[in-house]
Structure 1
């Protein structure tokens, strides 16, 4: 049985009543992975369960075919949330940037969509935040966010009936989270963004396939790095 780290247990508690036993869905192989190289030891809980919002928000509304923009203020705010989670090693801060459960329940056609969201997607997201924290804080200085470069021209519409989906959505792989330490630019990949009602959300940060208890960082690089290949869902 997988033992959940304290922060992970806090995050999945918000949907525990919805998540019964189920099996994860086979996923395409992720590209250019770097497993976490440092043991991820348990830490004190940084947020209380009440800090994890259960407000359904836009995820409870119907999907739209709008292609998201990567230049809006709301998108920049989501990127800032993701960055804050990475630099402070507090995954709860990034949950506003993560694909919301109510939307996932509308999109997917699995045996237990809530269980898959909590025990696979959120669990992996937490591990990848921890692994990304180890990378971005390893350069001997204070990391500063530059932004998230999104290859919007590589976005593809994933139609209903594919990848265990009831509804369609936009998907863009291989974005680059760019930051600086001193005068040096670095970046890591954000493996997969998908859309809900014209907004990009993270669904996979570092990897899709991996050991269940291992975090991963996608293609860390000096400089802005390279976008991931198009395709996928």
Structure 2
């Protein structure tokens, strides 16, 4: 009887080993690492740049934006700060929109704003003794001189409004009043910008 039992046990051993191997393989397969690939995000960029286009809205005699530009003009004049005074000047991109021909960027840089700075220097020389400590006292646009400039009149490819002889006032540190004239301003999209302080129009 014992011999038969031993023979049965020996016959069962290979089956047990086979069952263990299959079970172990199943466990390993269940423990396999799963890799998930996320789709790449797609970014779409839409341009919102709006081209500059002139219009013929007549600028008002006063508005908050013009008030700030003119105050900057005087502060730059008084403080020998051309960059501050330039805030009242016609920006170069606007000039390019208005004027005919090529090379308008270079013309603005080499001629127009250079002359403007020279004219600021002339004003500083004229008021040298009263500018230090001076207080800005406003401006007056001479509305009677406002007129339209048609295409081609001043080598311009777009029309604009133009006004002459705008008066700027200030008081010196002793309270004495003074004034001077800004010779020419022109419009871009319903706003006035200085182009010539002295000697034009």
Same fold (TM over 0.5): yes
Counterpart position of 2:116: 125
Counterpart position of 2:65: 74
Structure 2: distance between partners of 1:60 and 1:193: 23
Find 2:191's aligned residue among 199, 212, 215.
Answer: 199
Alignment gaps of 5+ in structure 2? 1-49
Runs of 4+ in 1 over 3 A off after TM superposition: none
Quote the offset at 1:199 in angstroms. Answer: 0.5
Instruction: Say whether residues 1:189 and 2:177 are aligned partners.
Output: no
Equivalent residues of 2:59, 2:191 under 8 A apart: yes
Q: May I ask how many residue pairs the two structures share in their alignment?
A: 151
Q: What's the TM-score, normalizing by structure 2?
A: 0.70
Task: Write the deviation string for residues 1-44 of structure 1: whole angstroms up to 9, x where unpaired.
Answer: xxxxxxxxxxxxxxxxxxxxxxxxxxxxxxxxxxxxxxxxxxxx
Alignment gaps of 5+ in structure 1? 1-58, 209-231
User: CA-atom RMSD, angstroms?
Assistant: 1.8
Task: Write the deviation string for residues 73-100 of structure 1: whole angstroms up to 9, x where unpaired.
Answer: 1111000110111001111112221101
Counterpart position of 1:96: 87
Correspondences of 1:1-233 after superposition (within 5 Å): 61-139=52-130, 142-181=133-172, 182-208=174-200, 232=201
1:192 partner SS? strand
Equivalent residues of 1:148, 1:178 under 8 A apart: yes
Quote the offset at 1:175 in angstroms. Answer: 1.0
More helix by proportion, 1 or 2?
2
Q: What's the TM-score, normalizing by structure 1?
A: 0.61
Q: Which structure has the larger Rg?
A: 2
- Distance verdict in 2 for CA 1:189–1:60, change over 3 Å: farther
Structure 2: distance between partners of 1:206 and 1:152: 19
1:167 partner SS? coil
Equivalent residues of 1:66, 1:198 under 8 A apart: yes
